[in-house]
Amino acid sequence: MTGHRAPRQKIILDVDTGTDDAIALLMAGHASALELVGVTVVQGNAPLPVTLSNTRKALAGGGLSHISIYAGIDRPLVRPPMPTGPGQSLAFDLPEPDLTPTSTHAVDFLVQHFLSPDGPHTVLVPVAPLTNLATALLREPRLAVRVPRLVMMGGAAGAGNATPSAEFNVYADPEAAQIVFRSGIPITMVGLEATASALIGFDDVARIRALGTPQARVAADLMDWDVRWFHQHLGRDAEIYDACAVAAVIEPGILTTRRMSVDVEIEDEITLGRTICTEEERPGPASRVDVALQVDRARFFEIMRECLG
Ligand code: RIB
Ligand code: CA
């Protein structure tokens, strides 16, 4: 791992830990360029008790027991909870650590942190349904000018994965996503076009496992599960969706982005949760978003190796 001279970039990860969230956590917690200030947890890939337990298991197994975890909201803002996400395991087959959960609620932590002096210096990395952040914005609208940037895994300029129109994180809570996209917070949207250009295969998993660290072993076991699932169900290598967002914070240059206006469909049941991405400047609430359309896969994998080594 290369030494890092510049001050570490503070980040908060908002997760619904499934396998790819866990890889994102392990990378963020060990990256020399990042300071993982805290982890907020929401329901999504699985009910909140499971995403919480998986988050604890991944952090403890990966040598990150010192990272604070904040339990968040256990259901979408408006609609009933979703079934589990695409290709996500449920409870991790890892030892349940006896980590005492932090008593502060995730929404309170987000409000307090971004109103604090560290707020404008902390990038928020949501890789899950956006319920926690949307609720924090509703409770404390000043967050819209305190959060310097979101680097989020979610959305798609084209086809979805939860439905033909919608990507899972947005589809799981479309009203929350609309609040976030309309907030005016600068957003880097690492959507499905980007994650589909950074697929991971069994040979990559073997190279991660060969790093030999505890975090590399946990990551390899979880990615092996993912690659197996993608090969069985889709006949190809796996997206490790959330890891792309963390890599993009470490090295923004791995993304090819286009500035677009993005809004979220919340009325039509057929296209519910679609992120409508348009080139032209649109008046009104849609924000100006840097939509990632491609990831430099070689650099993405090298960054993953550097973090987990
Ligand atoms: O569509 C991919 C997203 O859905 C990822 O965040 C993955 O963890 C699942 O939640
Ligand atoms: Ca996720």
In the prediction, which pLDDT does 90 show?
A: 81
Tens of pLDDT, residues 29-54: 999 999 999 999 999 999 999 999 99
Active site residue 21: no
The answer, yes or no, to whether residue 203 has pLDDT greater than 70, is yes
Q: Tokens for 228?
A: 């197996």
In the prediction, which pLDDT does 266 show?
A: 97
Q: Which DSSP symbol is given to 102?
A: B
The finding on whether 173 has its CB within 6 A of some atom of ligand 1 is no
The finding on whether 20 has its CB within 6 A of some atom of ligand 1 is yes
Tens of pLDDT, residues 68-109: 999 999 999 999 887 665 555 588 888 889 877 689 999 999
Residues with Cβ within 8 Å of 14's Cβ and at least 6 positions away in sequence, in order, are 39, 40, 41, 42, 72, 106, 124, 125, 126, 127, 128, 130, 132, 133
What does the alpha-carbon distance between residue 141 and residue 144 come to, in Å, rounded to a whole number? 6
The answer, yes or no, to whether residue 27 has pLDDT greater than 60, is yes
Apex CA 7: angle with CA 148 and CA 247, to 5°? Answer: 65
**Domain 9-308, second-level architecture:** Alpha-Beta Complex (3.90)
The answer, yes or no, to whether residue 219 has pLDDT greater than 70, is yes
The finding on whether 221 has its CB within 6 A of some atom of ligand 1 is no
Residues with Cβ within 8 Å of 146's Cβ and at least 6 positions away in sequence, in order, are 114, 115, 119, 120
Q: Where do the domains of the chain lie?
A: 9-308
In the prediction, which pLDDT does 4 show?
A: 54
In the prediction, which pLDDT does 269 show?
A: 95
In the prediction, which pLDDT does 82 show?
A: 74
Least confident of 89-98, 107-116, 280-289: 280-289
Query: What is the pLDDT averaged over residues 106-126?
Result: 98
Residues with Cβ within 8 Å of 203's Cβ and at least 6 positions away in sequence, in order, are none
In the prediction, which pLDDT does 1 show?
A: 47
pLDDT, averaged across the chain: 94
Q: Could you tell me the pTM of the whole model? A: 0.96
The answer, yes or no, to whether residue 247 has pLDDT greater than 50, is yes
Least confident of 1-15, 87-101, 223-237: 87-101
**Which of 21, 170, 199, 240 best tests ligand 1's pocket when mutated (most atoms within 8 Å of CB)?**
21
Q: Contact at 8 Å (CB) between 265 and 167? A: no
Query: What is the pLDDT averaged over residues 112-117?
Result: 98
Q: Contact at 8 Å (CB) between 45 and 18? A: yes
Other C-beta atoms closer than 10 Å to the C-beta of 144 total: 15
What does the alpha-carbon distance between residue 171 and residue 174 come to, in Å, rounded to a whole number? 5
In the prediction, which pLDDT does 6 show?
A: 80
Rounded to the nearest whole angstrom, what is the distance from the C-alpha of residue 165 to the centroid of ligand 2?
Answer: 18
In the prediction, which pLDDT does 285 show?
A: 61
Apex CA 44: angle with CA 29 and CA 170, to 5°? Answer: 100
What does the alpha-carbon distance between residue 299 and residue 306 come to, in Å, rounded to a whole number? 10
The finding on whether 191 has its CB within 6 A of some atom of ligand 1 is no
- What is the SS3 assignment for 194-257? HHCCCCECHHHHHHHHCCCCHHHHHHHHHHHHHHHHHHHHHCCCECCHHHHHHHHHHCHHHEEE
Least confident of 81-95, 130-144, 277-291: 81-95
Q: Contact at 8 Å (CB) between 72 and 124? A: no
